[in-house]
Amino acid sequence: MKKFYRFAMRVMQVIMPLYYRIDVFGNKELPTDGGYLFVSNHRSMADPILIGIQNTQTQFCFLAKQELFEVGLIGKFLRYLGAIAIDRGAGDMTPLEELKTRLKAGQNAVIFPEGTRSEDGTLKRFRTGAALLVAQTGVSFVPVAIYYTGKLRFRTHITVRYGQPIAVHCEQPDAPTPVELKVIRNAMSGAVAELLAQNTAALPAEQTGQQP
C-alpha cells in the first residue's frame, strides 16, 4: 500500500464523519485481504472515499473521468491515490485492463456500473464492464449501496451498506459469453438493489415521507 494512500485514508477517516453523518452496515464481515471488486451504486464524487475509509486493510483503486485529471490539485490528488483515468466516450478498454492487473495483484477495486451518477438515487441500468472484470479475473464481487435523500451537503445522513462477497464462474473466463455476462450483471444489480431496499426500509417514517 502506498504511503500517501494510507495517509489520505486516515485523514479522510477523521474528516468525513465530521462533515457527514455516516452509518455503516455489514463492513465488519468483509474480507481483510485484497483482490475483490466492490460494486456500488453511484451518487456523488465522494463515493470512492466513503467506501475506501471503511476498508483500509488494502489499497483501493478506482476509475475517474479523464477531465478530473486535468484539474490542478484534483488531478494530482487522484494520481497520488492511484486512480485510473477513463475517457467514457472513447470506448477505450485500457482502464479495465489496468483494473484487471491490479485485482490480480491483490488490490481491491471499486467500480460504479451505472457509469454515471444518479441524481435522485434511482438505480440505473448496469453496464457490462464490471461483469467482464469479474468473469475474466475470477475475483468475487462485493455489493455496496450508498443511500441518502436529497443532495449531498453538510451533515447529510449517509448510509453505506455492504453485502457478502459473491463468487461467479465462467466456463471460458477469457471469452465469457453474452449470456454469462448478463447473468453476472443481473446478479450485481440485484444485490445492490436489495441493499438499497434495506436502507430505505431502515429509515424512520419521517425521512421517507410516510405517515405512521
Q: Candidates 3.90.1150.10, 3.40.1130.10, 3.40.50.12780, 3.40.190.10; correct CATH number of 3-203?
A: 3.40.1130.10
Confidence class for position 109, pLDDT limits 50, 70, 90: very high
Give the start-to-end residue ranges of the domains of the chain: 3-203
More confident: 132 or 1: 132
| pLDDT band with cut points at 50, 70 and 90 for residue 88 | low
Mean pLDDT of 63-91: 82
Residue 77 pLDDT? 86
Whether 96 shows a pLDDT value over 90: the answer reads no
- Give the Cα separation of 114 and 66 in Å (integer): 17
- Kindly tell me the sign of the dihedral angle through the C-alpha atoms of 144, 3, 138, 86: positive
Among residues 120, 121, 122, 111, the alpha carbon closest in space to that of 88 is found at: 111
Q: Which of 141, 148, 149 is nearest to 167 (CA)?
A: 141
- C-alpha to C-alpha distance for 163 and 30, rounded to whole angstroms: 8
> What are the pLDDT digits (tens) for 21-71?
999 999 888 888 889 999 999 999 899 999 999 888 788 898 888 888 888
Place of cell 451518487: 43
C-alpha cell read off for 58: 488494502
C-alpha distance from residue 153 to each of 101, 196, 203 (Å): 36, 20, 18
116-168 pLDDT, tens digit per residue, is 899 999 999 999 999 999 999 999 999 999 999 999 999 999 999 999 999 99
DSSP letters, 138-191, are ---EEEEEEE-SSS--TT-EEEEEE---B----SSTTS--HHHHHHHHHHHHHH
Asked if 166 contacts 191 with a C-beta cutoff of 8 angstroms, the reply is yes
Per-residue pLDDT band at 91 (split at 50, 70, 90): low
Higher-pLDDT residue of 169, 40: 40
**Residue 25 per-residue DSSP state:** E
pLDDT for residue 141: 97
Structure confidence at residue 207 (pLDDT): 43
Name 128's Cβ contacts closer than 8 Å, sequence gap at least 6. 181, 185
Q: Give the burial class of 7: count Cβ atoms within 10 A of its Cβ; 0-12 exposed, 13-18 middle, 19 or more buried.
A: exposed
CA-closest candidate to residue 157, choices 110, 121, 113, 193: 121
